[in-house]
Amino acid sequence: MIRSLLNRVLTLDGMLLAAAAGVSASVAVLAFAHIDDQHNVGWSEGTRMALARSTNHGELVPPLFQDGHFGGTRYMPLPTIFHAGLARLTGEYLTAGKLASAAAMSAVVALVYLLAERSSCGRPLAAAAAASVLTTVPGSWAATSIGGDAIPLALQLAAVLVVLRSTSDRALLGAGALCGLGVLAKASALWGPAGIGVWLLINHRRRVARFAMAFAAVAVGGGLALDVLSHGRLLENLRETLFAGSGDLAHAPERSLLLLTAAGSLGVSLVAFAGVSLLTGWRRLDLRTLCLLMATFQLVVVASDDGTLVNHVLDLVALLALVAVTVVGAATAEVRKVLHVAVAAALLWGMGSYAVTELRPALAAARDDLGSSRPIALRGELPEGQLLAENPAVVVARDEDPVVLDAWMVFHLGQRHPEWIADLTGRIRDHEFAAVVLVEPVEDEDWYGSLSLGTQVTDAIADAYRLDRQAEGYYIYLPER
């Protein structure tokens, strides 16, 4: 019996299923081990925690600047509302945010599997494609951290699945509504509606209007409703922040490639199969391939923004895995066996290399975290009084309003509203803050000169505060008396 089981595992399909199960279990263990601690919680995740807290306190979108506090966010409200709702159940914002992200990423994995299985590639290959998304930097991060990228991805994948199953009026209305919700979850979630719209124009031209009307009704109508609920601040924030760091289109393709490479070996190993799909199906492109094309174009546009990080590659790697197995399902019997082995090898390589370099050391480190928790950032390390923290999670953990909601946006808002920066630097020089908590030393001009806060703010900190100590990855500055 043991030999029979071993022989099954050693088959290609057996290895695919074993790898998929091992990867999924490993990421689940990591997520559970770090469900209530500061693992993978940077200032971006802290911003999402602060937004969820603000929502539960009656402000869906905080003001751009009011009473010395900086708002300003490009994050759309849907993930925040989900996060805030879970926080009402858990009573805090750290575990709630991680639960929200893990649930959304689980939906992504399930949808990739359903879409892959529908391509007739076989269940083992479909399972491996779905699990492989977790063996990328953005996929693993989305499953174990606090983010909003998995929700719009899941909504768009669900829309694609609906359209592949049926192009009835009801199905197209539902798919359009799902894509509209995707935009309310992330302003750049446009590859789904674009791909579906082009595919319908090619194959079902008379039905595209139904999809477009449902998409517009939910995206525009929902956006206006959320703007009313936020007292007009949603549109105000988007006008001020949506293109704050954009402009470098010339280097956007190169930056996109670097981001894909930084995501891990999986995406790079699957690019060739996307090329096969384009070459063999250019006369009648598959919907999934069309969506991949739209997602690639979207990434290039988004990569012109200097705030674009590797999390924006999550959609692309999920679609690359999906298109790779779709190529296998669409091939003729003679070619299919060769493609099956090639795609399986690429998926196993991607999952295996990530498991060795990232998952194994992360699991080893997580053993100590299973028996302990560190939900409060810098617990007992900071004095009483108002804090100026680059990562809002530090302040949210004390159930207080952060002075800075998003440090990256402070840098860009300060260029348009220098009087706001003057107000903040004046408060710093007057020692209004009991402590300043930074993620990099105040002397780091590369970081603060282009990505966070701005050198005017850090110069004021350097003049009025002294470095007291480092703790939990933060630099803690106290007033210079």
Write out pLDDT tens, residues 223-279.
999 999 998 888 888 887 776 655 666 677 877 788 778 877 777 788 777 777 666
Residue 5's pLDDT band (cuts 50, 70, 90) = very low
pLDDT digits (tens, 9 = 90+) for 349-402: 888 888 888 888 887 777 666 555 556 677 777 888 899 999 999 999 888 999
φ and ψ at residue 449, rounded to 5 degrees: -90, -10
**Measured distance CA(455)–CA(443) in Å, rounded:** 9
Strand partners, 476: 437, 469
**Measured distance CA(462)–CA(88) in Å, rounded:** 39
Give CA 58 to chain center in angstroms: 25
pLDDT digits (tens, 9 = 90+) for 133-186: 999 999 999 999 998 899 999 999 999 999 999 999 999 999 999 999 999 999
**Measured distance CA(465)–CA(481) in Å, rounded:** 8
Q: Are 389 and 402 in contact (CB under 8 A)?
A: yes
Q: Are 251 and 306 in contact (CB under 8 A)?
A: no
User: How far from 436 is each of 13, 359, 408, 425, CA to CA, in Å?
Assistant: 55, 34, 16, 12
Output the pLDDT for position 280. 66
Q: Are 421 and 454 in contact (CB under 8 A)?
A: yes
Report the candidate in 108, 295, 116 with the shortest Cα–Cα distance to residue 195: 295
pTM recorded for the entire structure: 0.91
Write out the H or E segment, with its range, that includes residue 434: none
Report the candidate in 178, 140, 186 with the shortest Cα–Cα distance to residue 156: 178
Q: What is the CA radius of gyration of the chain?
A: 23
CA dihedral 15, 19, 20, 22 (to 10 degrees): 140
φ and ψ at residue 172, rounded to 5 degrees: -70, -35
